Each structure stands twice: as C-alpha cells, then as structure tokens.
Structure 1
C-alpha cells in the first residue's frame, strides 16, 4: 500500500488519488479509482452509477469501514474511523428488534455520550424530525418498511455527527414511500445543515436530493461527470420542483451520462 498523499482540512470529505483493490494476485479486482473529490461542508453529494461501479465501496471508505489500497480519505481532516464522526444509513434499516422504536434511538444517543435525562427529551425530538409521531413505545415489527427506515435515519442523526452517509436507503421501498422519504430527507438536510453523501442507482433521486451529483464509470469506478445541481429549492413543493424545466434538463443530462458511463 502506497503512502497517502498530504491533504488539507477545508472540506468535510476529501478523497485524493484513491484506488481500492479486492483480492490479491490473479484474483485481484480493482473496484475503484483512481478517484479524487472534495465535498464541501453542508453540501449534499449524490453518487450515481450502474451496479458494480464502486459506489458503495467509496461510501465504505468514507465511513472508515475499509481502507483504500492507495491514496487518502479524510473526513474533517482526519482519517475516518467506523462509528466516529458520521451517521450511516444502509439499504436495510438494521434496527434491533428486541428494543422499542425509542429504545433504538436512545441507544444511539447513549453511544454518543448524551446524558440519560437529555436522552429522554431528544428521542421524541429526533423521531419528530423524520416525521414519526407518538411511536417511541412501539416495537419495530409494528412499523412499515418506510417507517423503519425513518427510524434508521433518526438513529443516524442521534449523534449530531457533521456527516451523514446513506447507501441506497430507499431502494427496497415502494415508489410512494420512497418519494415521501426523499422529501423528508431533503428537509432534514436543509434544517440540520449536515454534509450528506448519498449512493443511488436512480437519476431521478439524484436530481431531487443532490446539490451536486457525481457519476461513476463501470468498474473500476472513476468520475465520468461531476455536476452541480443549482435548483431553487426553498419555498417549492416537491411537485413544483420536479415540474421545473431545468429539473428535466438536468435529469436528461444525468441519464445520458449514466448510460455512457455504464458502457
């Protein structure tokens, strides 16, 4: 493994000259890179591309779950450590079924070092933030799939980490629930000002959520397109946003780029 290059601390996430290889020798597969990008604080970056292009690999590197084969990844100027500095939401909620809804969120607050008396106050606040009211006492199996994913997002927000990482969190949901959660996540992101990195296959989802979208090529994943999404979001209802001519134009550009990048 080569020595990581020197990088600064201005961005929330910095990825510089990163490559990631699975396996060794004849079995080695280069999944990602070389790739470099900076994610400014408070932005919402969406990573989109075909299956197997390295989107989830990149997210795991940013989360600290894996280390790059070469190059450097930094969050807030530091090497990322699993469970530190970032809330992570997966495709499946991964909630603890033996705990109540509130118990799942309370546990995340406890791990974040929040005092017991403050945890009791913050659990309902976090559930309210993701659109869940008066469900803290309920069991996980009593919730729909969309509600469970809302709990997972609330849990990820519990630690007040400056970075939120989401790996296709809505992929397994029906279209209506998916749209509702997209709307909720966009509002939560605006209100908290957190930096978000979101992985998806969906161009529609990328345009709706992102302030910036990066399209990856087929394996090994490299940046095929890095596009700002300068849409006027404040004061617009979701249907109004999707009806804008510039929304349709950006969606068309991204759709074309994803098809080309998939080869």
Structure 2
C-alpha cells in the first residue's frame, strides 16, 4: 500500500449513530501522562467512530497507545483533550462495557461458579436467575460442567474463558478486550479466537480488541485500525471484507484473501512503527 493510500484510509471515519447502544465515538482525543518536563503524549489526536455491532481491532507496535485508548473507551481514564462517548454518553467504569484483560484476574479462592455469580450480582441480575444465566454464559464459552472447579484446577485457556463469560454477564452492548490471549499457547489462542468471534457474532455486541498480531487482527476483525508509534494516531483504517457467518476457521485462515489482508496489515504496522 502506498503512503497516499494509507493517508486516505486513515482519514476515513465512518458516519454512525453515536447514540446507538454499543456505539463508540472518539472525538479529537489526546491523552497525556506526567507533568512538567516529565509529561508525554501517549495517544492523539485520534478521531474514531465504531458503529454498533462492529468488531474493531486496534493493532500496532508496543507502546503505541492501544491499551490507553481502550482504557479511555472503558472510562477508566478521561482524555486530556477531546471526548469519548459510548452509547451516546460519557463512559463510566463497570457500566460502559464488559472488559477482558491480558490476565484473567479471577478470584482464585472462588470456584468457576463463584466467579460468574459475583459478576451476575454486580450486574444486578436477580439471584433466582443466576443458575439459568450462569449455565448460558458457561455454554457460550464452552465450559459446561466446570462450575464447581476451583480457578487453580483449570487451565490458563479455561481461566480466560471464565473471564470472557464474566465480562458477558452484564449484557453490556460493548465488549473491550486488551490482548486477552497474549500469554497463551498457539493452539489455545486460536481456539479462543474462534470462541470470541462466535460469541460476539451471536450476541451482536460491539467489540474493540487490542493485539500486536496482524494474523489475529484479520481473523477477528470486521475492521482494523493500525496506530502509529507513540503518540498513537490512526495510520490505517481498513474494513475486512471476509465472511463472518458459517465459515470454517481453517479454510478462512488458509485462504488467499486472508493472506493478502494479513500481509497488508503487517506492512502497515511495520511502516507505522518506523515512521
């Protein structure tokens, strides 16, 4: 891709209904850390619109501001300049979105059931509905029959599935995932990619996913945004025209179209990091 094509793609911001449940609007956002001579700009300026139901992947080199941007969308931090809106309102931590981190952050003294039930309680689900909702959530992530096991009795991949189920408990229309599979082996990672792809498609939730991997980005995303090196700005905004329904994961990964898109994203990441 030529530099002019990258620039043109970077300037493309979709017009969306910013009040729709699950939609995200990042408007003229810049975020800085530190004070005085120690101040540095982590992100920005960034303009980004995410329509409800889209699976957006943020990809870029380490330190480009991907996770910072995700925290701003989650409401964990407020931008130094600009505004972030989720479903038309300023995001509030724990309410704007379900969040999955790089490590599961489960309560190790609780069972799988206990971790899910705690999420349901905080989500305001009545106790009478917990058994049905818990079973539904565990089925969505392929963990039927594990509810009585302790966290330390299940694998790292299963722990991350519990974290995903917990994030889905509140039925927020937005799901944020910050490199959730980075510490897992390749096989487990691919299986969980397929799980997340299936779950978000079936629930219709908007998703914003952070990764370093061009392969992961192309497999998961309906759209990919590549960020420049710090301070992170949009270098490439690329729709992914691959099928998302009734598709065999191995066939998709082995297709010529997948390989071409992966190469395009990989090139854009390297170019953005070197610029």
TM range (shorter): over 0.9
What TM-score, normalized to structure 2?
0.92
**Partner residue, 2:266:** 255
**Partner residue, 1:9:** 19
Q: Is the 8 A contact 1:233 1:241 kept in 2?
A: no
Task: Report 1:207-218 matches (<5 A).
Answer: 207-218=218-229
Partner SS, residue 61 of structure 1: helix
Partner SS, residue 158 of structure 2: helix
Partner SS, residue 216 of structure 2: helix
- Return structure 1 stretches of 4+ with deviation > 6 angstroms: none
Q: Does 1:68 align with 2:79?
A: yes
**Partner residue, 2:10:** none
Deviates more, 1:232-241 or 1:182-191: 232-241
Q: Distance in 2 between matches of 1:85 and 1:139?
A: 29
Q: Which of 101, 122, 132 is the aligned partner of 1:90?
A: 101
**Partner residue, 1:3:** none
Q: Distance in 2 between matches of 1:36 and 1:201?
A: 21
Deviates more, 1:209-218 or 1:234-243: 234-243
**Partner residue, 2:246:** 235
Structure 1, unaligned runs of 5 or more: 1-6
Q: Does 1:102 align with 2:113?
A: yes
Q: Does 1:22 align with 2:46?
A: no
Q: Is the 8 A contact 1:96 1:104 kept in 2?
A: yes
C-alpha displacement of 1:8: 4.8
Q: Is the 8 A contact 2:63 2:230 kept in 1?
A: yes
C-alpha displacement of 1:233: 2.6
C-alpha displacement of 1:151: 0.1
Q: Is the 8 A contact 2:18 2:24 kept in 1?
A: no
**Partner residue, 2:12:** none
C-alpha displacement of 1:85: 2.6
Structure 2, unaligned runs of 5 or more: 1-16
**Partner residue, 2:53:** 42
Q: Does 1:78 align with 2:89?
A: yes
Q: Distance in 2 between matches of 1:27 and 1:133?
A: 50
**Partner residue, 1:120:** 131
Residue by residue over 1:20-79, the C-alpha shift from the partner in whole angstroms, topping out at 9 and shown as x without a partner, is 000111100100000000000000000000000000000000000000000000000000
Q: Distance in 2 between matches of 1:8 and 1:131?
A: 33
When the two structures are aligned, how many residues end up with a matched partner? 257
Q: Does 1:170 align with 2:181?
A: yes
**Partner residue, 2:201:** 190
